[in-house]
Chain A
């Protein structure tokens, strides 16, 4: 495809994007100005149940677990907010106490020395309305899997490669084969329009391919409305597992492996937690922190684990493909730490395992000091620095728009071993070079193709940066790697003269 074609396509893409976003936001200007309000208690629009709003973001780094209201954000009751006239902003801002989000939720952590805990984020939403979810385990007569049902007032068929009419005992039904991404498994689901009103969507794991599709569909069509549960399957092969509404609380902590890969640890009260298993190519039972759970493996290589955390709470682990072969060890490392700050139970690296961390900057975010470390997937790993103050180290910093941020540099994080990572010293300033244009478009002079062809994860490559010469060429690239290694040096040998390698993690 020629460059001109790319330009034309770019213009088309931008025009289509503008049109789509215009449609998405149509009428925003015409809406009456709403009052600032507590986000957790706000009535939600029907049908937007999956858009659980971020009510409060909590930051917790390697050693921080904070569940406190920001001192500069006064709290007002929902009633106070509701009393405000609907066409003006309030004189007194209102936010929701962070402590009210996730109250009573069990707390878990991963006790693995090679997984660095990241920030804890706790998002809440009002219970709202929306579908109801029911999950069953199915065993017997050659069937071994799960059924998942959800009940809606209305439900269109949004995205299907085929829709086949079925013959249910009551109402109307279709078997829907969805359109999915290349690395996902297409799992058929049944849309059943009920004679009493509403629509059921019923999907499965391990059933539609384990036996003939008729057996699975026949089982689904045994379902009837219940008095306690919205949907009941009166079949001895079906064991009820869970029932619930959409999540009102989602608490997530990301762990980043110092090798490669991430693990997301989530606790939620959502009734659809077991729906995580839809699309898994293989599911097996596991024990997680002493509770029953299931581990699903997916076509793209990632792993998800769901377990009953009791009291209406569910635990979920999302394990990236790089760590899939360690899934059992990660599951075994899940530890319940209720009433105890998780930082105190994080596996403590020995003195030999301490690291120097090259961060792009130190900043205050939501009242906590964090140091940023770039990761290969373009996200940023934020390590909390408890006990740090600007005066505890001689470091240049400035305040811009209310955010205090240091100059870029190389920083050393020490004393991680006592569970309270603390900042000690600035080693080298301006490690990330100047902000001149990287010349990724100068394909004639750069070895970017070679760089992109490398297995960046296997080689611990975090990213690269280049700067432009006065004549428009680019002859030097800074390659950021987590750990330098002979394998890396061998891989970059053909163009090593153009690279400067900077390790981000250096054993102390």
Chain B
């Protein structure tokens, strides 16, 4: 059972939740919404959780997966209007965000959470509902796709 209050937990994890969601959906505004939604889900069970941080990780990953499932087609449809979206990021960042968007969700989650958010394989596996060994396969495949794109650019 957690000894911290939800208020303390919220202050400690809110920025991380936004970061994790941003890595998973590639959109800052959407990430903030999903992070809020995930923290709300944690708050409802907070008193009963032994590891609320682990629970938050899994909720964020699950909610981002749901968002991808239900909005992938919507995004493609809307982007057809202008074949893309205006962005204030640098070209290199836009290219990388585009490359990440081309990955299957689990590969994207494994690569970004492993090498950017510094989650362990076990934490990623728990959040994705798979074995740690599967995480390593997802990372290998995801990096392979990104590597191919980098080669093509070069």
Give the B-binding residues of A (Cβ under 8 A).
1, 6, 9-10, 12-14, 16-21, 23-25, 28-29, 31, 33-34, 36-37, 39, 42, 44-45, 47-48, 50-57, 70, 72-74, 88-91, 93-95, 121, 123, 125, 131, 133, 148, 150, 154-156, 158-160, 176, 178-180, 186-187, 189, 191, 201, 203, 246-247, 250, 252, 254, 264, 266, 268, 270, 272-273, 275-276, 278-279, 304, 316, 318, 360-361, 363, 365, 372, 377-380, 400-403, 435-438, 440-441
Contact = CB atoms under 8 A, between A and B. Distances in A.
Given A39-B36, A278-B81, A378-B104, A123 B7 contact: no
Contact of B33 (A42, A131, A189, A437): A42
Contacts of B106: 378-379
Task: Give me the 4 closest cross-chain CB pairs, A-B, nearest first.
Answer: A178-B83, A53-B33, A93-B43, A51-B30
B30 A201 contact: no
Given A54-B66, A435-B132, A438-B133, A401 B78 contact: no
Contacts of B55: 401-403
A156 B41 CA distance: 37
Contacts of B54: 400-401
A401 B50 contact: yes
Contact of B58 (A28, A272, A403): A403
A439 B116 CA distance: 25
A54 B67 contact: yes
A51 B27 contact: yes
A142 to B, nearest CB: 24
Residue of B25, B31, B51, B147 ringed by the most chain A CB atoms within 10 A: B147
B83 A179 contact: yes
B143 A180 contact: no
Given A121-B69, A266-B70, 7 more contacts: A18-B116, A159-B83, A270-B74, A276-B80, A365-B62, A379-B69, A379-B106
Nearest to A53: B33
Contact of B36 (A12, A37, A377, A441): A37
B29 A95 contact: no
A255 B34 CA distance: 25
Nearest to A133: B81
A403 B104 CA distance: 25
A45 B86 contact: no
A155 B54 CA distance: 40
15 contacts: A6-B147, A10-B147, A14-B143, A25-B19, A31-B15, A44-B29, A48-B27, A131-B81, A159-B84, A250-B70, A266-B70, A272-B77, A275-B80, A275-B81, A380-B129
B26 A201 contact: no
A155 B75 CA distance: 17
B53 to A, nearest CB: 9
A275 B66 contact: no
B55 to A, nearest CB: 4
A201 B15 CA distance: 36
A327 to B, nearest CB: 16
Contacts of A316: 73
A121 B82 contact: no
Interface of B: 6-7, 9-11, 14-15, 18-19, 22-23, 25-34, 36-37, 39-41, 43-45, 48-52, 54-55, 58, 62-63, 66-67, 69-71, 73-75, 77-87, 89-90, 92-94, 96-97, 100, 104-107, 111-112, 115-116, 126, 129, 131-134, 136-137, 140, 143, 146-147, 150-151
A25 B25 CA distance: 12
A294 to B, nearest CB: 13
Given A33-B11, A72-B44, A20 B96 contact: yes
A125 B143 CA distance: 34
B89 A24 contact: yes
Given A158-B85, A401-B50, A89 B44 contact: no
Contacts of B27: 48, 51
A23 B115 CA distance: 15
B104 A402 contact: no
A401 B89 CA distance: 37
Contact of B111 (A17, A34, A88): A17
B106 to A, nearest CB: 5
Residue of A1, A17, A19, A276 ringed by the most chain B CB atoms within 10 A: A17
A24 B37 contact: no
B39 to A, nearest CB: 6
Contact of B112 (A21, A150, A252): A21
A23 B36 contact: no
A275 B136 contact: no
B137 A438 contact: yes
Contact of B40 (A93, A159, A264, A318): A93
Given A44-B29, A158-B84, A275 B78 contact: yes
Given A20-B97, A48-B29, A158 B86 contact: yes
A201 B82 CA distance: 7
A148 B77 CA distance: 12
B131 to A, nearest CB: 4
A122 B121 CA distance: 31
B40 A9 contact: no
Contacts of B30: 48, 51-53
A268 B74 contact: yes
Nearest to B125: A435
B134 A24 contact: no
Given A25-B19, A155-B82, A279-B80, A12 B33 contact: no
Contacts of A6: 147
A25 B24 CA distance: 12
A25 B107 CA distance: 20
A20 B66 contact: no
B89 to A, nearest CB: 6
Contact of B70 (A14, A16, A93, A123): A123
B18 to A, nearest CB: 5
B70 A440 contact: no
A55 B89 contact: no
